[in-house]
Structure 1
Amino acid sequence: MTDPNNSLKVVEVFRVAPQPKPGTSDSAISSGGENLTYNKDGPVSTVFQVNHELSLPLTFFDFLWIRFPPFHRLLFYEILPCSSPADALLFFHSTIFPKLKTSLSITLHHFLPLTGNITWSENSPKPTLDYVQGDTLSFTVAESDADFHHLSISHVKAAVMALQITIFPNSGGFSIGISMHHAAIDGKTLFLFLKSWAHICKHDDILLPNQFKPFYNRSVIQHPIGLQLETIYLNQFLNMDGRQNNRSLMVAAHYKSLAVPNSFRGIFEFTSANIQALRKRVTTRMKEITTKQQQERDPSVHMSTFSLTCAYTWVCLVKAQQGEEEEIKGDKIPLFISVDCRSRLAPPLPANFFGNIVTAYLTVAERKGLLGEDGFVMAIIAISEAIKGLDNGVLNGLEDLVSRLYLSDEQKSTADPRTVFTTAGSHRFDVYGTDFGWGRPRSTEVVRKNSTGAITFSDGKNGGGAVDVGVVLEKHHMEAFASLFAKGLETL
C-alpha cells in the first residue's frame, strides 16, 4: 500500500522522440542501412520508413484487451554506493538519467509504435495503432516513491506507453516505471523493448542484436477463425455499456469497480526446493485419492512450474478470503490463465513478434474442493485440464471470451468479482536480466492499480529457478494469505 506520508516531487516531464538515423530526416526512420515502406501487410524486416504517419493494424488478439486496465511494471535499481543523498542525486542527474534518456530515444527508433496512440474513429471499422510524425513518449522524472505516471486514456485515444524514472536519494536507488496498454503490447513485447533499451544504454550502441529486433508483419497470423473472432469481439465492444456504436477506449466500468482502496501489494517466493516439494506432493496424493481406473484413463497431470505455483497461490487466495461476514456468491471459483500463443499458432510466430499474442483460458474449480484438505491437488487438476485443452486448438472456444472477461450483466448476477482470478506475467521473462549498466534490478513487481484477483509471475529475485508471485489484497486478507502461504510450504 502506498504510504500517505511519502511525498513525490515531479522534477520534469519530458517528451522523448525516436532518434532518426544520422543523415536522415525525421520522416525517414531506418536502421542498419535499410529503408522499408510500411503497408497493411507489415514490413518483412523490423524497421520503418515513415512519411508523416503510420498505422499499425491491430489483430483479434489485440481487440480482446481494448478496454482492459493498463499494466504497470516497476523495476528498482541500486545506485553505486554514494556517501550522501546529495551525491546520489548528483550521480543520477549527471550520469544515469542522461544515458537513460539518450538510449531511450535510440531504442524508440526501433520501436516506433510505442510513441503512438490507439484510436477508433467513427469512420474506421476497427481500432488501429497510429503514429503521426512528431508523436513522442511521456517520460517523467521524479523524486521520492509515490506511484508513477499513468497512461493518458480518453474515449477517443489511448497512449501505448508512458515511463517514469523515480530517484530515491535517501536510500541510494531509482526505479523505472512502465505503464502499457495491453491492446498494443503484451509482457513478452514489453521485455523485448526493455532488453533492447538496456542493451543500447549499457553498450552505447545504436544497433540491436537480431534477437532484440521487433518483428511487425501481421500477415503471418493466418488462423482460420481469426476473422470470425475479430468480428465477434468488435461487435461486443460496439454494444458494450448498453450503447450502440460504442467506440470508447476508456477502461471498462467492471474493472474500475475492482479497484480496492488501501490495499496491499505483496510478493512471495517459491524456491526451487519448494517447487520440487509441491510436485512430489501432487504425485503422492494423486496415487492416494484416485482409483486405478482413473489413473489409467487420465494418467498425466500437468505439473509445470507455472501450474504448481499458480495452483498453490490460487488455493491460498481462496482460503484467505474465508471468514467474510457477508456471503460470497457462487460455488465455483473461476481462474483466467494467460496464454502466449506465439509458438502455438500454425505457422508459429517468431518470439520477437511485436504486439499482443496473449489470450485467456478459463478454468473453474468447486469452492468446496479448493477449501478442502486436497485443495491444492484439486487446483492443479483444474489447471491441467485447461492447459491440456490447448492441444485441441489454442483459439477454440474463445467466442464468448469478451463477455467473460468483462462480465456481462447475466454473469454479474451470479459471479462475485472478488473471486474471479487472473494470471499475468511469466517466470520466463528473465526480468532480473534487465541490466542498463548499473547492475541487475534489486526487485521488480507488476502493479494492477490496487485491483484484487490478479496473480502476477516473474522469475525469482534470488535466482536458482525460484519464482516470485505477486498479489493485491486488503490488509486482513493479506495477513491471512501470508500465513497460509508460509505454513503450507513449511509442512510439505
Structure 2
Amino acid sequence: MSPSTKIKVIELYSVSPPPGSVPATSLPLTFLDIPWLPFSPDQPLFFYDFPISTIQFTQKILPSLNHSLSFTLQYFFPFSGKLVVPPKPNKPSIVYTEGDSISVTVVESDGDFSYLSGNSARKFQDLHCLVPKLPPSELVGDGEKDPLLAIQITVFPGCGICMGFALRPVVADGRTFDNFLKMWASFTCKNRGEDLQCLEATHDRSVIHDPSGLESTFLKEWWKIKNSEKEGFLHSTRSNFHEMVRSTFVLGKPEMEKIKKWILTRSEKLYGSKQMLLSPYVLTCAFVWVCWMKTHWPINEDSEEVHCFGFVAGGMTRLNYPVPTSYVGNYVAFGRLGTMRKDLMAENGIVHAAKIIGNTIKKLDGDVLGDAKNWISKWKMLLESELHVTIIGSPKLKFYSLDFGWGKAQKN
C-alpha cells in the first residue's frame, strides 16, 4: 500500500463564461431533476499518463485550458450558476447571474501515480484528496444558494495528471456531463474536427413533459427528507471513506462470452425457453452483484433477507417523445429490484441475478415512468439499508476517449 498522498495548492482560479455571453437566467427544475436533490456530488477522476513538470503545466497548458473552459461555460452556464433553494414549499431552481463562476484548483502531488491510477486495491482516503471541494452554501434570507461544479487538476511531476470533479447531479446527468467534457476538450485542442452537436446546447425546460404530475409528488418527498432529522441520508453513504478501498476489475469480451454461455446452459432448465436479456451491462451487473454478496456473507448462508440492487436508466430512447441530444439537464430514470440472499448465494445465483436485472430493464423499456412516483421513497429505503448494491455510470458514455491533448484517459 502506498503511504497517504500529500498535495500542495499551486493555483486557484474562478472561471466564468465570457463577459456578456450569457444573460441572467433562472431555470426551473423539472420532475427529472428533483429526485437528484438529496444526492451528494458525483466525484469522477480522470487519470492521464502525461509526464510533465508543474511549471510546464501552469505556464504552457493551464492558460489555454482555462480559456477553453470559459468558452465552454457559455453553452453550459448552469454549471457555473447556483442551485437556489427557497423556503418551503417553493420549488428550487438553477440561477445564473453575470459573474457566476466555478472554482478550478491546481495542486501538486507527491503521491505514487502508478498506484493511484492502477487497478489494484487503493485506499479511498488517498484518492479523496484528488477530488475538489465545492464552495460552501450561501444563506439568502430563508433560503440558500449552492454551487454546482468544482474542478481540481492534480499534477504528478514527471508522471501524469489527474482531473477531478465534484458535480451536483441535480444540474446534469452523465450524458450532459459527457457533452460538457467533450466540448471543453475539443476547444482546448482547437476543434479537432469533432462533431460538436452540443454547440447548440438546449436549456428549454418545456421539452420535458410531465403528464402524470410527478413534479408535485417529488417535491413533497424531497421536502420531507430535507426537513427530517435524517436530512442528508444520501450524503452519509460516502462519509466513511477512510474505511474503504477502490479496485478496478476488467471484464473483456472473452470473459463476457464465458459468463453468457454459463448462464445460457442453465437458464433453459431453470426458466424454460423464455428469452433472457443478456446484454454486456446485464452480465456485468449480475456478476458483480453475486461476487459482492459472496465476499460479504458465508457461502452456505440460507437467508431470506432481501437484498436490493439499484441503477440508472437512460430516458432518451424510453419516453414517447423526442428530446434534443443537446439538452442540458437530467433525462434519466431509476431502476431498482430486490431478491432474497439465498437466491443470490445459490449455485445458479448469477443466472437468477441476470434474469431479474434483465426483466427490470425490459419493464423500463416498456414503461419507464411506471413506478416513477416511488423513485425517491424507494431510493431512500435502498440507500439506508446495508443490504444493497448501486451501479452508477453507463457504458454508452465514452469517458475513456476524453482527450485534452495529452492522449486518452488511462483511468476513469
Instruction: Check whether TM > 0.5.
Output: yes
The answer on 1:184 being equivalent to 2:168 is no
The 1-side partners of 2:56 and 2:302 are apart by 52
In the alignment, what sits opposite 2:258?
277
Q: Paired residue for 1:119? A: 84
SS at match of 2:373: coil
Cα RMSD between the aligned structures?
2.7
> Is the 1:189–1:356 contact (alpha carbons within 8 Å) kept by the matching residues of 2?
yes
The answer for the alignment partner of 1:352 in structure 2 is: 326
Q: Is the 8 A contact 1:142 1:164 kept in 2?
A: yes
Partner residue in 2 for 1:433: 401
Partner of 1:252: 232
Deviation of 1:204 (Å): 5.8
Name the CA distance, whole Å, in 1 between partners of 2:267 and 2:175: 34
Residues 104 and 337 (structure 1), Cα distance of their counterparts in 2 relative to 1, 3 Å cut: same
Change (3 A) 1:323 1:157: farther
Give 2:292's match in structure 1, choosing from 317, 320, 331.
317
| Rounded Cα–Cα distance in structure 2 between residues aligned with 1:10 and 1:359 | 38
The answer on 1:363 being equivalent to 2:334 is no
Distance 1:204 1:429, change over 3 A: closer
Aligned to 1:263: 244
The 1:241/1:221 distance shift into structure 2, 3 A limit, reads closer
Q: Distance in 1 between matches of 2:194 and 2:27?
A: 23
Q: What TM-score, normalized by structure 2, do the two folds share?
A: 0.87
Within 5 A, what are the aligned runs for 1:206-225? 209-225=196-212
CA contact (8 A) 1:365 1:378 kept: no
Q: Are 1:421 and 2:396 an aligned pair?
A: no
> Which structure has the higher relative contact order (CA within 8 Å, separation 6+)?
2
1:393 paired residue number? 367
Structure 1's 370 and 199: CA in aligned 2 closer, same or farther, altered over 3 A? same
Partner secondary structure for residue 5 of structure 2: coil
TM-score after normalising by structure 1: 0.73
On the 8 A contact 1:433/1:440 being kept in 2, the answer is yes
Deviation at 1:405, TM superposition (A): 1.2
Equivalent-residue separation in structure 2 for 1:205 and 1:375 (angstroms): 47
The 5 A counterparts of 1:52-451 are 53-79=24-50, 88-122=53-87, 125-144=90-109, 145=111, 146-154=129-137, 156-169=144-157, 171-203=158-190, 209-225=196-212, 228-240=213-225, 243=228, 252-257=232-237, 259-260=239-240, 261-290=242-271, 294-295=272-273, 299-323=274-298, 331-407=305-381, 417-444=385-412
Tell me what 2:140 maps to: none
Contact kept? 1:76, 1:443, Cα under 8 Å: yes
Is the 1:200–1:207 contact (alpha carbons within 8 Å) kept by the matching residues of 2? no
Distance between the aligned counterparts of 2:209 and 2:295, measured in 1?
Answer: 44
Letter in 1 for 2:316: R
CA displacement, residues 60-91 of structure 1 (integer Å, 9 cap, x when unaligned) = 111001010110111111225x6xxxxx2232
Q: Is the 8 A contact 2:31 2:210 kept in 1?
A: no
Q: Distance in 2 between matches of 1:60 and 1:125?
A: 14
Q: Are the equivalent residues in 1 in contact too, given 2:302–2:341 (CA < 8 A)?
A: no
Cα shift at 1:12: 2.0
Mapped to 1, the partners of 2:295 and 2:248 lie a distance apart of: 16
Percent of aligned positions that are identical: 30
Aligned residues: 387
Query: Distance between the aligned counterparts of 2:384 and 2:75, measured in 1?
Result: 43
CA 1:215–1:242 in structure 2 vs 1: closer, same or farther (change >3 Å)?
Answer: closer
Letter matched to residue 35 of structure 2:
L
